[in-house]
Structure 1
């Protein structure tokens, strides 16, 4: 019996046997299981269903919609709806959203330690530093008076005058060397200090400033009679002063020094230099040919043959151009410059200062306004204060010229050739000198 029951249990069952069980019975059996009794009821999913999912549900679906199949349809519909919303919203967001600005580099934060957290020594040091920074600068009486004087004279708040381009009209003139002219005069400004006469009258026992003035006046007269170049005149006076700075000369040989110096300058500057016989004749045969040539050698040896130096003439040409290229002003400037050749007090001055003083005195005499401009200060490198004293010397020489015994320069510039500028009344204190 036991064997039969075992065989009966092991016997194969027919394949369609389960199909015969009615669906109602299967539901009842499932309901009777513990898992089915403990399962939570499906909540209301109406608010989770996307409208597109409902449209999909409304479409004709042949297969029966079970709970799992319905959940799958809902999930697919929600996913498709989210994708569609993203596609529709993305362009609008891109158009409305501003472009992200570049982030500025993060600044290092400075943390301050409160005074309570500091050590006593550190707190005292920081408080003293703060007091020092807050300390007011006390204006002295000198500062106050200086400021008031500047305001009263109109020196404060005055705008700087523009510097005029004085080489604008010469840009196409190759002889004007506009591209190099500034560098050339910078070199002159430096070179003028290298070889310059000094005050030598203390070392000359037989010569005094009056004798030198007589010699300078005679040299001006000779150069004018021989129609020599202005460069020759200024170089002659330079050679005389330079030689007297290093060599004692007797009174009887002072004119010989002037003759030999003029001969050297003519050979250096002139195309057709006067001969030695011409200088013998102009000096009334006071010196012979061997004496003149011997003094020439002595001068050149003492000066080490150094004749390439900036004289006042090279600066006069530039400064007159900066003053405005007025012909009358030009004659007046050269009149004062030649008057300066007689003044022993101006021997040791820089050639550029002598030239600038001549320009200043000329503008004062002709009553130019303003007397000194920003363009002149730029090119001469001197202001009015620096020029007052030497300009006074020149103006006083002009005032004394009509009654002086040394009138060669005055007569020269009183002619029509030079515009009779010497006949102008001298400048007075109202014009600045």
Structure 2
């Protein structure tokens, strides 16, 4: 159910044209709240959009109106319920809202590794896919970003992207990369298709389609 809510948040985030860091912070707040106590299943969507609303206040210059968020929720909650959920989040998390997002770490690591734009786009896709995986909540942002970048370099190695950067050891990356690979190979599964379809568009060079093809049929490496 968590993955379904995150998938819906991805759609809302894209529809509203919000900053990338806003999405990562919203999912971080959602996971932090879920880790601190129980939530009724039918209130998960309300919790998710309330986390997005809080994240907007941290990251955005122009905030979406609460009424607009309620409309995007298809009337399943009211403005008063949204604001009440916001207060519960702030109370349960004790206003600990700052989070060094993995998207920022990815940009820094890509600059250090001198990664090209194609590699960075693919790494961004792998990183965003990790939002759907509950186990990713326990990964530190730097390691998560390094796994996405390392995987992108390795997948595109045959396309002339150059060798993958040795930012973390294989042992340190552990199960992070396989989780991203599974998510990329899953494709547009019912209820979990938003990120795949988002990156399949021409504006993002059909990255999700390219990733699935290269993961299934890796290009031959240099002799």
State whether residues 337 and 358 of structure 1, in contact with CA within 8 Å, keep that contact through their aligned partners in structure 2. Answer: yes
Partner of 1:394: 180
Alignment of 1:174-185 (within 5 A): none
Structure-1 separation of matches of 2:188 and 2:22? 26
Specify which of 370, 373, 393 is matched with residue 163 of structure 2.
Answer: 370
Q: How far does residue 325 in structure 1 lie from its aligned partner after superposition?
A: 4.0
- TM-score w.r.t. length of structure 2: 0.90
Q: How far does residue 384 in structure 1 lie from its aligned partner after superposition?
A: 2.7
Deviations 1:44-103, CA, capped at 9 Å, x for gaps: xxxxxxxxxxxxxxxxxxxxxxxxxxxxxxxxxxxxxxxxxxxxxxxxxxxxxxxxxxxx
Q: How far does residue 315 in structure 1 lie from its aligned partner after superposition?
A: 0.8
Task: Give yes or no for the alignment of 1:242 onto 2:32.
Answer: yes
Give structure 1 regions of 4+ aligned residues with deviation exceeding 6 angstroms. none
Structure-1 separation of matches of 2:98 and 2:127? 20
Deviations 1:403-430, CA, capped at 9 Å, x for gaps: 5541100011111221211111142697
Q: How far does residue 385 in structure 1 lie from its aligned partner after superposition?
A: 3.1
State whether residues 199 and 205 of structure 2, in contact with CA within 8 Å, keep that contact through their aligned partners in structure 1. Answer: yes
Task: Give yes or no for the alignment of 1:298 onto 2:88.
Answer: yes
Specify every segment of 5 or more residues in structure 1 that has no aligned partner in the other structure, as ranges.
Answer: 1-210
Quick one: structure 1 residues 405 and 252, their matched pair in 2 at CA, closer, same or farther if it must change by over 3 Å? Answer: closer
State whether residues 129 and 180 of structure 2, in contact with CA within 8 Å, keep that contact through their aligned partners in structure 1. Answer: yes
Structure-2 separation of matches of 1:339 and 1:256? 22
**Greater CA drift, 388-397 or 286-295:** 388-397
Partner of 1:360: 150
In terms of fraction of residues, the more helix-rich structure is 2
Partner of 2:58: 268
Structure-1 separation of matches of 2:66 and 2:3? 24
Structure-2 separation of matches of 1:322 and 1:371? 12
State whether residues 154 and 163 of structure 2, in contact with CA within 8 Å, keep that contact through their aligned partners in structure 1. Answer: no
Partner of 1:321: 111
CA RMSD of aligned residues (A): 1.8
- Give the 3-state SS of the residue equivalent to 1:347 in structure 2: helix
Specify every segment of 5 or more residues in structure 2 that has no aligned partner in the other structure, as ranges.
Answer: none
Aligned length: 214
Deviations 1:266-293, CA, capped at 9 Å, x for gaps: 1111111101011001000110111100
Structure-1 separation of matches of 2:216 and 2:112? 24
Alignment of 1:24-423 (within 5 A): 211-367=1-157, 368-373=161-166, 377=167, 382-423=168-209
Structure-2 separation of matches of 1:213 and 1:402? 13
- TM-score w.r.t. length of structure 1: 0.47
Which is greater in Rg?
Answer: 1
Structure-1 separation of matches of 2:88 and 2:217? 46
Q: How far does residue 216 in structure 1 lie from its aligned partner after superposition?
A: 0.8
Specify which of 205, 208, 215 is matched with residue 427 of structure 1.
Answer: 215
